Structure 1
Amino acid sequence: MEGLSWISDEWIKFFEVSYDGIIIADGEGRIVYINPASERLEEVDKEYIVGRLASELEEEGIYEVSVTVKTLRERKPVSLMQYKGGKQLVITGIPIFEDDEIKWVYINERDVTELNKIKRDSEEVKAIAEKYKRQLEELQVREDEKSEMVTGSKVMEKTVSLLARIAPTDILVLLEGESGTGKDVHARWIHRHSLRKDKPFVKIDCGTLSETLLESELFGYTKGAFTGASNSGKKGLVEVADGGTLFLDEIGEMPLGLQVKLLRLIQDKVFIPVGSVEEKTVDIRIIAATNRNLKDMIRQGTFRQDLYYRLNVMPVRLPPLRERKEDIFYFIEFFMEKFNKKYGFHKTILNRAISRLCDYSWPGNIRELSNVMERLIVVVPRAAIDASDVETVLGREYRKGQGEDDFSRQTYDEAFEEFERYYLKGMIGVSSSNYELAEKTGLSASTLKRKLKKYKLRLRDRAKTEPKDQN
């Protein structure tokens, strides 16, 4: 090929079979070579193109914008997107210099129509997948909350009943309870059953950040508010929660310097971002939670009294697990199913192991029970978890946690009912029918039916109880 003697025949063969279009022009912009792929993409014959100036082809409308002309003019690589015959082409021109003059222009054309379609389809599929992922996560959260809100204890039934009454309102709620009692779960439950359920639920742990970082996280900051601040500023979590619910976890850990600003937010629903002088207004519901005694903190001078009274509009105490031992059965069953599914196991738990778990005082509450159940599912090598496994996993903590039950705040009838519920729940675990249960407890069928109804109990799945033939 005339003018291309500097390119070997082998390279020409590569050009000829290339899927990409290849065009070569000389330093004047005259087309000296076009491969078959480019003829197909351009929808022209090489006899019409080769030997002609790219500027002439541009004038004739063959090219809307000639990459060759643009490359010669700008003396640097140029890329353009062009549409031809329903195809979307990415065209790149690369100048090849000799003695500071452009000797050749190499043009590469690639059809990205299908690529872009695949990209769009991929983005659509990704968006759909993200949507379903969010929905699945939402369903999982709801299932977890549903399971963790189930209760067989009277004290917890009263708490859930109270939450159901206050959830649809905008009243400020202060959740009080020991670590691990499920304050986060209950806060989310309140939001999910409120009129703001379709708006954001935003949580911030007041005990994990320094005062400066906590303020910027809560209220956001303006451009250049401090060294290292984003050039565009940042929206705070208070503003993110606008229209929804702001959950302030571990409110007792909030630094004193920020408490006055939080007080203003609660009173007037206004705040000022760090580095700004302009107030912003938000429409939010606030739920706070603490595992500390705020009244003691007031006496110690570490918590503002005026903030406490603003927060203490609707205090809700979440009782520790040792005060609602009936619920331990529900949680054991829930966590057995959850962690068996998570790790692909089919393990069961023997009745005497359940008894050991019920004897323990659970200072870490539901969170500690969850951790222990996960550990038992993973580390016990047998199909059935036994009492010795529970004692091994809990170790010294088991012996320390076997303290006397505190009945000092209960009447005789209340204590008897708690024991009766506990006793029947355990007997259900080793009975396969109501007839067998009646025989083992010595109760008549009618009395047994009445008591099961009273305590909302039912026969457990036989597969999860201790086999009869075991010693």
Structure 2
Amino acid sequence: MSYNIREDENEVILQSLQDDLLVTDTDGIITRVTAAMKSLYGVENKELVGKSVYELEKSGVCTPIVTPLVKESGKRTTIIQTTKENKKLLVTGVPVFNDNGKLWRIATYSHDVTELVNMREYLAHMEEEMQRVLNELNHLRSQYLQEHGFIARSSSMKRCLEMARQVADTDVNVLLLGESGVGKTQVAKMIHQESPRKEGPFIEVNCGAIPETLFEAEFFGYEGGAFTGSHKNGKVGLAELSEKGTLFLDEVGELSLNNQVKVLKFIQEKQFYRVGGRKPKNIDFRLVTATNQPLIELVEEKRFREDLFFRLNVVPITIPPLRERTSDIIPLIEYFVQDFSKKHNRDIQMDKAALKILCEQEWKGNVRELMNVMERLIVTSPTKLISAEEIWMPLGNDKKDTKKYTFQGSLPDTLSSVEEALLKEAASSCRTTTEMAEWLGISQPTVFRKLRKYNIK
């Protein structure tokens, strides 16, 4: 079987393509185009053939052009091209070689990606807008936290407070865990202030401060004449005072096993009897508890009731110690300096060396210890600028505890070790590289370079 090949068959096939195709010679003169090119460039096909792509670019029909790029590299090249009608085209130029391996033609095919480019620009704009909104939200959150007495720059403390804020509008039982002085009472008060019960009372009961034998009478109250020495008219208990509000049981891990039973029954039924009373009293309250004791270990040691633990531990929130959120130390110091200066009518500032010393402390007493030290410094400072020498007495030291570094075998290695340690201290204590540069007495670019050198983040 034989076929008759039409002379114009290649042209027919070319024009039947749905793609936008343009062919030039090595000088950029257009030799072939498909019919679809008119819709892209707004020029009749017969006007394109014979013209130079360089002329098209010069006249503003399209820019940039891919032909010279393919001619120079001899490889397939893709660019984004803009037409005079502001269309965005994804243009790919493909080199075509003759039998001798020399560049003969350059075939260019295009796809209109205007909508995709516009969408990308729109998404980029939306990302910028979202980042702006996020920055504003973070600023508002910082203001919100400061209104509740919190300074939180560290991610761990922010997560803790965000969880507290999230559960505040429910009546779920919350158990606050953390060392003494981390701010459990403040978090409990924030939960109350953000809850629907904020107009009701916030009743704090320190379970470790009430003697075991007096706990029932103090907590539930008593009727007149219930026991020797009781008031003739009786007394309203702390639990009863929490009606329509929040009952905060602090140091709940200090309760005796005997009183744990009574508190458990009260939490389960929200009902109790006064000491010496015969009539039950129903109370509508929201329960928040706190402890610095490891309750799980106490349960294993049979010193804390398991059923009470599960009642309290519905939503546990662990407040991190200050030593684990060192990025909060300087903001806290700045806040206390301002607050106590105003309270005691003083005009006090801290020098950088004093700040550095304070940031290096362990703060076993956490925020409470830091607050007490700062108030003492504000009140006792003989000058307006608190220096490093004034820091040691409030911290319980009579002289600076000089750090010692181990010799690493050579002076360069030892100096490198010391430099790395100082950079880590600065990174944990400062909020920005600018602050680190000021603290360390070097330039900000040097800080960046050394952080990369020691892989410090």
Correspondence for 1:384: 385
Q: Do 2:224 and 2:230's aligned partners in 1 also have CA atoms closer than 8 Å?
A: yes
Deviation at 1:425, TM superposition (A): 4.4
Correspondence for 2:320: 319
Of 412, 429, 435, the residue aligned with 1:428 is 435
Change (3 A) 1:401 1:310: farther
Correspondence for 1:440: 443
Correspondence for 2:350: 349
Matches within 5 A, 1:105-120: none
Correspondence for 1:154: 155
Correspondence for 2:341: 340
Deviation at 1:153, TM superposition (A): 0.3
State yes or no: 1:304 paired with 2:305: yes
| Distance (Å, rounded) in 2 between the aligned partners of 1:310 and 1:401 | 49
Change (3 A) 1:282 1:417: farther
State yes or no: 1:394 paired with 2:405: no
Change (3 A) 1:418 1:312: farther
| Distance (Å, rounded) in 2 between the aligned partners of 1:286 and 1:417 | 42
Change (3 A) 1:303 1:394: same
Number of aligned residues:
291
Deviation at 1:278, TM superposition (A): 2.4
Deviation at 1:175, TM superposition (A): 0.4
Correspondence for 1:366: 367
Change (3 A) 1:401 1:228: farther
| Distance (Å, rounded) in 1 between the aligned partners of 2:311 and 2:402 | 37
| Distance (Å, rounded) in 1 between the aligned partners of 2:349 and 2:195 | 38
Aligned letter for 2:259? L
Secondary structure class of the residue paired with 2:284: coil
Secondary structure class of the residue paired with 2:443: helix
Aligned letter for 1:156? M
Q: Do 1:271 and 1:280's aligned partners in 2 also have CA atoms closer than 8 Å?
A: yes
Percent identity over the alignment is: 40
| Distance (Å, rounded) in 2 between the aligned partners of 1:260 and 1:375 | 43
Q: Do 2:250 and 2:291's aligned partners in 1 also have CA atoms closer than 8 Å?
A: yes
Q: For each residue in 1:37-82, what CA deviation from the matched residue of structure 2 results, as whole angstroms up to 9, or x when unmatched? A: xxxxxxxxxxxxxxxxxxxxxxxxxxxxxxxxxxxxxxxxxxxxxx
Correspondence for 2:175: 174
| Distance (Å, rounded) in 2 between the aligned partners of 1:279 and 1:272 | 5
Q: Do 2:426 and 2:440's aligned partners in 1 also have CA atoms closer than 8 Å?
A: no
Q: Do 2:427 and 2:436's aligned partners in 1 also have CA atoms closer than 8 Å?
A: no
Deviation at 1:395, TM superposition (A): 2.7
Deviation at 1:150, TM superposition (A): 2.6
| Distance (Å, rounded) in 1 between the aligned partners of 2:366 and 2:332 | 11
Q: For each residue in 1:355-384, what CA deviation from the matched residue of structure 2 results, as whole angstroms up to 9, or x when unmatched? A: 100000100000000010011111221111
Q: Do 2:248 and 2:288's aligned partners in 1 also have CA atoms closer than 8 Å?
A: yes
Larger Rg: 2
Change (3 A) 1:196 1:342: same
Aligned letter for 2:443? K
Deviation at 1:344, TM superposition (A): 1.0
Unaligned runs of 5+ in 1: 1-141, 405-415, 448-454, 456-471
Q: For each residue in 1:101-149, what CA deviation from the matched residue of structure 2 results, as whole angstroms up to 9, or x when unmatched? A: xxxxxxxxxxxxxxxxxxxxxxxxxxxxxxxxxxxxxxxxx99963642
Deviation at 1:347, TM superposition (A): 0.9
Q: Do 2:240 and 2:283's aligned partners in 1 also have CA atoms closer than 8 Å?
A: yes
Q: For each residue in 1:145-187, what CA deviation from the matched residue of structure 2 results, as whole angstroms up to 9, or x when unmatched? A: 6364231101111111111110111110000010000111110
Correspondence for 2:189: 188
Change (3 A) 1:438 1:387: closer
Secondary structure class of the residue paired with 1:394: coil
| Distance (Å, rounded) in 1 between the aligned partners of 2:198 and 2:297 | 34
Q: For each residue in 1:220-246, what CA deviation from the matched residue of structure 2 results, as whole angstroms up to 9, or x when unmatched? A: 101111111111111111111111000
| Distance (Å, rounded) in 2 between the aligned partners of 1:426 and 1:252 | 43
Q: For each residue in 1:415-451, what CA deviation from the matched residue of structure 2 results, as whole angstroms up to 9, or x when unmatched? A: x9996463444843886xxxx9998311799x9xxxx
| Distance (Å, rounded) in 2 between the aligned partners of 1:262 and 1:207 | 14
Change (3 A) 1:303 1:340: same
Matches within 5 A, 1:21-170: 146=147, 148-170=149-171
Q: Do 1:145 and 1:189's aligned partners in 2 also have CA atoms closer than 8 Å?
A: no
Cα RMSD (Å) of the superposition?
A: 3.3
| Distance (Å, rounded) in 2 between the aligned partners of 1:224 and 1:401 | 64
TM-score normalised per structure 1: 0.57
Q: For each residue in 1:269-311, what CA deviation from the matched residue of structure 2 results, as whole angstroms up to 9, or x when unmatched? A: 1111111132211110010000111122122322111111111
Change (3 A) 1:288 1:194: same
Secondary structure class of the residue paired with 1:229: coil
Secondary structure class of the residue paired with 1:369: helix
Secondary structure class of the residue paired with 2:289: strand
| Distance (Å, rounded) in 2 between the aligned partners of 1:359 and 1:421 | 10
| Distance (Å, rounded) in 1 between the aligned partners of 2:299 and 2:157 | 28
TM-score normalised per structure 2: 0.58
| Distance (Å, rounded) in 2 between the aligned partners of 1:146 and 1:361 | 27
Correspondence for 2:236: 235
| Distance (Å, rounded) in 2 between the aligned partners of 1:293 and 1:402 | 33
Change (3 A) 1:221 1:397: farther
Correspondence for 1:79: none
Q: Do 1:145 and 1:185's aligned partners in 2 also have CA atoms closer than 8 Å?
A: no
Aligned letter for 2:429? Y
Change (3 A) 1:317 1:144: closer
Q: Do 2:436 and 2:447's aligned partners in 1 also have CA atoms closer than 8 Å?
A: no
| Distance (Å, rounded) in 1 between the aligned partners of 2:161 and 2:402 | 27
Unaligned runs of 5+ in 2: 1-142, 406-422, 450-456
Aligned letter for 1:296? E
Secondary structure class of the residue paired with 1:442: helix
| Distance (Å, rounded) in 2 between the aligned partners of 1:265 and 1:145 | 35
Deviation at 1:330, TM superposition (A): 1.3
Change (3 A) 1:426 1:257: farther
Correspondence for 1:288: 289
Deviation at 1:338, TM superposition (A): 1.3
Secondary structure class of the residue paired with 1:204: strand
Q: Do 1:175 and 1:315's aligned partners in 2 also have CA atoms closer than 8 Å?
A: yes
| Distance (Å, rounded) in 1 between the aligned partners of 2:304 and 2:398 | 33
